[in-house]
Amino acid sequence: MKTEGRPQPAAQLSSSNPTTSASLQKHSNSDAVDTRYQEGTGQGGEPQDTTTDPQGRITTNHGVPISDNQNSLKAGTRGPTLLEDFVLREKIFHFDHERIPERIVHARGSGAHGTFTVTRAIPELTRAALFRKKGNSCDVFVRFSTVAGSKGSKDTPRDVRGFATKFYTEEGNWDLVANNMAPFFIQDAIKFPDIVHAVKPEADRMMPQAASAHDTFWDFVSLVPETQAMIMWLMSDRALPRSFRMMEGFGVHTFHLINDRDEVSFVKFHWKPRLGMQSTLWDEAVKISGADPDFLRRDLWESIDKGDYPEWDLGIQVFDEKFAARQPYDVLDATKIIPEEDVPIQFIGTLQLNRNPDNFFAETEQVAFLPTNVPPGIGFSNDPLLQGRLFSYMDTQKSRLGTTNFHQIPINAPRCPMHNFNRDGLMQTQVPKGRANYEPNSLGEAGEPSGPRADARGGYRTLSRMTELGNEPTEKLRVRPERFADHFTQARQFYLSQTPVEQAHIVSALIFELSKCELKHIRIRQLSQLRNIDEDLAQRVANGLAMDLPPAAPAAKPAVKVPPSDALSIIKQSKHSSKGRKLGILVTDGADGNTVEALRSAATAQGATVMVVCPKVGGPVLASGRQMEADALLDGAPSVIFDGVAVVASAAGAAELARNKAAIDWVSDAFAHLKAIAATPEAQVLLQKANVEPDAFVLEAGSPDSLVAKLGDRNWDREATIWPAR
Ligand code: HDE
């Protein structure tokens, strides 16, 4: 017999209706639901918030109030469960289908809302309304990502990072779908499936996850020399960002800017982080992925949450056909950059991320970026990689989001009016009125709504003149332009532009990656490619692998000498700032609270954050007898998650730490990762146990400013004393 709705025993009642008055209140708080998206959806009438019930009641998907969300409907107290239990069936049905396919690449990502503000109007370059006036602004949504790993992989593999921005402009969405590396691996979209297959876990064994260090990747890249310039970037510290907030972004391709007079300029887009660039060491990145696989996601979330809003400046490199014709490379070749020294960056706007998503799935997962999303005044060059992307993104959304109507999902919907005769399709949420679903139509003549029409003046116009380099419309050919043939000059330029420390990191990365290749001929082939980049580099990698140098691979064109570009080095560009960095203070019972507070205020004064770490999470009882709150347990907050550390300990506390492996690792890892370490005199016993040698970054805890000043830096001089010379 059914018991639904019947009086129940007291024990069942308490578990079947656990709704407290507090949670009732929370549910009925209209602020809890974002109704912005319901506005202007073309359905007419007042926007309605149907996602909360004023009484806080839980309902089925179809609005029927539910009386019991704890027990399925059974025949008798011990079952069987009844098929007619639509509450149970709907709940399980919906749950069964919660997942959607992850992105083919860039599956793991984190997003945030923000604002873009124009700091310099450029109407002489583009007729895009956004850039017409200084001070213009629009909402944005940004998604950062890794490329190779699955959605559930880690944040800190050696990988390219995506940096995709959706600008909700008054003339429609502009999606600048960028990466944190300026060149790309390949020149032609037809090679994209190949390189992605090669870098992803190998097809038979589904290993390794989120890693390029395996046979198939190096097999492909060593066979395709156009990849070698980006390989230098991927082996560099750019692939190990300390924070999304501390990395650059690049639009990669050459785009067009088109002004009111239909004059076209070539443009490359750049994001420059206000916090400056910083990266982790490889050993650190590996350990972070164990300690906190969400390291970069957490950093982004927490900084926005506490109002420390991440910011970037948007810059452009603008040039014309004459400049393009003079370069030894082709500006349509996405494996090439234009050195900033050749075309300086002009800054035109600022991006600030200032609001975390309300819901990860609804926003970060469902956001769909399309390089085809450009407002009037921004256009595409003939870069064959870009042309392929113009097809791929729209196409993949259909498979990922299931319908051609993915543009109606709130995060993707334009914030300006959207009218056309595209109709129907799965998950159509608009309810267009009338019969005008075609044009031309003359329904207006009879007083009926006739729908929207094209705007020849203000609408998006594609360039009618085809004067661009290499754009002479002649035969149909499957060829690469001759001007795409130099694969090594810029690879060499990147390597030679780095500091010796960064060069050593590239060498170490290559040794590590190639050591993971099981097939020896692949290692040999990559070494033969390295010889085309730089002999010294090739020799150092060969030494690290204990291999002989093979002959250089045949090169379509040998590298030519070009001046180094300081803009390519992270260390040369360092802002030495402590802002946005994190200080960890390990505090024991009996420690001096004033020393901790002095460190805390010195760090926060410089825009850094502080975490008190303690062997017991309840917090240390200080010398004063006061118990200090701890932010984390020592075992759960290893020093890899900090930019600098301090140990404030009593003599007894330090002696205990010196017997604790987690505490010894805390200090020895900070030392090995070249970080600043400060300690009270009592804590020296721990430093000795951790083999910390005195140097310019080993300091007294009593001088907090000198520690804080070093949070944005690493002691590169220490590196050679700890890590093998490469
Ligand atoms: Fe992508 N890329 N890509 N890509 N890409 C995707 O689109 C593709 C390329 C980039 O956070 C996919 O929505 C092709 C360059 C970012 O949602 C897919 C080619 C650059 C993101 C796709 C490229 C990028 C993607 C997978 C060569 C830097 C993540 C899911 C022709 C300028 C966007 C999706 C997000 C995502 C295709 C090359 C950046 C499959 C075919 C070059 C940041 O459509």
ipTM of model = 0.98
The gap from C-alpha 330 to its chain's centroid, in whole angstroms, comes to 29
Residues 184 and 273 both lie in one domain:
yes
User: Residue for token digits 């979209």?
Assistant: 189
**Mean predicted confidence (pLDDT) in 156-160:** 98
Q: Which sequence positions are flagged as catalytic?
A: 106, 179
**Mean predicted confidence (pLDDT) in 11-29:** 37
Nearest CA owner, ligand 1 atom 8: 389
Query: What CATH number corresponds to the domain at position 78?
Result: 4.10.91.20
pLDDT in tens, 364-405: 999 999 999 999 999 999 999 999 999 999 999 999 999 999
Q: How far does residue 371's CA lie from ligand 1's centre (Å)? A: 9
Range(s) of the domain holding residue 546: 487-568
Contacts for 98 with CB less than 8 Å, ≥ 6 apart: none
Ligand 1, residues 142, 187, 392, 409: which to mutate, most atoms within 8 A of Cβ?
Answer: 392
Q: Which of 75, 96, 117 is the last residue of a domain?
A: 96
Neighbours of 321 (CB within 10 A): 14
Nearest CA owner, ligand 1 atom 22: 393
Please give the number of the atom of ligand 1 that sits closest to the Cα of 162.
Answer: 43
Q: Establish if 14 belongs to a structural domain.
A: yes
Assess whether pLDDT exceeds 80 at residue 146. Answer: yes
Q: Which of 536, 568, 600 is the last residue of a domain?
A: 568
Q: How far does residue 393's CA lie from ligand 1's centre (Å)? A: 7
What pLDDT score was predicted for residue 10? 41
Assess whether pLDDT exceeds 50 at residue 44. Answer: no
Assess whether pLDDT exceeds 80 at residue 5. Answer: no
Q: How far does residue 105's CA lie from ligand 1's centre (Å)? A: 7
Residues 552 and 637 both lie in one domain:
no
Residues 499 and 587 both lie in one domain:
no
Please state whether the predicted TM-score (pTM) of the whole model is above 0.90: yes
Residues 211 and 274 both lie in one domain:
yes
pLDDT in tens, 495-540: 999 999 999 999 999 999 999 999 999 999 999 999 999 999 999 9
What pLDDT score was predicted for residue 49? 62
Q: Establish if 438 belongs to a structural domain.
A: no
- Residue 298 is labelled as binding a ligand: no
Assess whether pLDDT exceeds 70 at residue 569. Answer: yes
Query: What CATH number corresponds to the domain at position 279?
Result: 2.40.180.10
Contacts for 654 with CB less than 8 Å, ≥ 6 apart: 588, 647, 680, 682, 683, 684, 685, 686
The total number of structural domains that make up the chain:
4
Phi and psi torsions of 495, nearest 5°: -60, -45
Residues 52 and 201 both lie in one domain:
no
**Mean predicted confidence (pLDDT) in 592-598:** 97
Please give the number of the atom of ligand 1 that sits closest to the Cα of 251.
Answer: 32
pLDDT in tens, 175-201: 999 999 999 999 999 999 999 999 999
Assess whether pLDDT exceeds 50 at residue 14. Answer: no
Residues 560 and 609 both lie in one domain:
no
Residues 526 and 674 both lie in one domain:
no
What pLDDT score was predicted for residue 18? 38
Q: How far does residue 398's CA lie from ligand 1's centre (Å)? A: 15
Q: How far does residue 471's CA lie from ligand 1's centre (Å)? A: 25
Residues 589 and 716 both lie in one domain:
yes
**Mean predicted confidence (pLDDT) in 558-581:** 96
Assess whether pLDDT exceeds 80 at residue 142. Answer: yes
Q: How far does residue 93's CA lie from ligand 1's centre (Å)? A: 32
- Residue 492 is labelled as binding a ligand: no
Q: What residues line ligand 1, using a CB cutoff of 6 Å?
A: 103-106, 109, 143, 145, 162, 164, 177-179, 184, 189, 192, 252, 334, 368-369, 385, 388-389, 392-393, 396
Ligand 1, residues 389, 390, 396, 398: which to mutate, most atoms within 8 A of Cβ?
Answer: 389
Ligand 1, residues 105, 382, 386: which to mutate, most atoms within 8 A of Cβ?
Answer: 105
- Strands 582-587 and 644-648, sheet pairing: parallel
Least-confidence region, from 134-138, 190-194, 559-563: 559-563
Q: Establish if 295 belongs to a structural domain.
A: yes
**Mean predicted confidence (pLDDT) in 596-616:** 97
**What is the average pLDDT score of the chain?**
92
Per DSSP, 581 falls in state: -
**Mean predicted confidence (pLDDT) in 215-238:** 98
Q: Which residue has the higher pLDDT, 726 or 164?
A: 164
Query: What CATH number corresponds to the domain at position 557?
Result: 1.20.1370.20
Give how far Cα 720 sits from Cα of 26, 707, 716, Å. 56, 22, 8
What pLDDT score was predicted for residue 29? 37
Assess whether pLDDT exceeds 70 at residue 38. Answer: no
Ligand 1, residues 160, 177, 244, 383: which to mutate, most atoms within 8 A of Cβ?
Answer: 177
Confidence of residue 83 (pLDDT cuts 50, 70, 90): very high
Residues 86 and 213 both lie in one domain:
no
Q: How far does residue 437's CA lie from ligand 1's centre (Å)? A: 33
Query: Do residues 661 and 631 touch, judged by C-beta distance below 8 A?
Result: no
Confidence of residue 46 (pLDDT cuts 50, 70, 90): very low
Q: Establish if 479 belongs to a structural domain.
A: no
- Residue 393 is labelled as binding a ligand: yes
Q: Establish if 705 belongs to a structural domain.
A: yes
What pLDDT score was predicted for residue 447? 97
What single-letter amino acid sits at 171?
A: E
Q: What's the rounded Cα separation, in Å, for the pair 673 and 275?
A: 20
Query: Do residues 411 and 163 touch, judged by C-beta distance below 8 A?
Result: no
Least-confidence region, from 133-137, 478-482, 584-588, 711-715: 478-482
Nearest CA owner, ligand 1 atom 44: 393
Assess whether pLDDT exceeds 80 at residue 469. Answer: no
Q: Establish if 114 belongs to a structural domain.
A: yes
Nearest CA owner, ligand 1 atom 30: 103
Assess whether pLDDT exceeds 70 at residue 263. Answer: yes
Residues 356 and 378 both lie in one domain:
yes
Please give the number of the atom of ligand 1 that sits closest to the Cα of 192.
Answer: 27
What pLDDT score was predicted for residue 475? 76
Query: What CATH number corresponds to the domain at position 591?
Result: 3.40.50.880
The gap from C-alpha 657 to its chain's centroid, in whole angstroms, comes to 37
What pLDDT score was predicted for residue 6? 45
Walk across the sheet containing 582-587 and list its strands: 632-633, 609-614, 582-587, 644-648, 676-679, 698-700
Nearest CA owner, ligand 1 atom 27: 189
Assess whether pLDDT exceeds 60 at residue 34. Answer: no
- Residue 495 is labelled as binding a ligand: no
- Residue 266 is labelled as binding a ligand: no
Give how far Cα 394 sits from Cα of 190, 348, 373, 460, Å. 17, 28, 10, 18
- Residue 238 is labelled as binding a ligand: no
**Mean predicted confidence (pLDDT) in 105-133:** 98
Helix 228-235 and helix 489-497, axial crossing angle in degrees, nearest 10: 20
Q: Establish if 217 belongs to a structural domain.
A: yes
What pLDDT score was predicted for residue 621? 97
Q: How far does residue 460's CA lie from ligand 1's centre (Å)? A: 23
Residues 313 and 395 both lie in one domain:
yes
Q: Which of 367, 392, 408 is the last residue of a domain?
A: 408
Nearest CA owner, ligand 1 atom 3: 389
Residues 386 and 268 both lie in one domain:
yes
Q: Establish if 436 belongs to a structural domain.
A: no
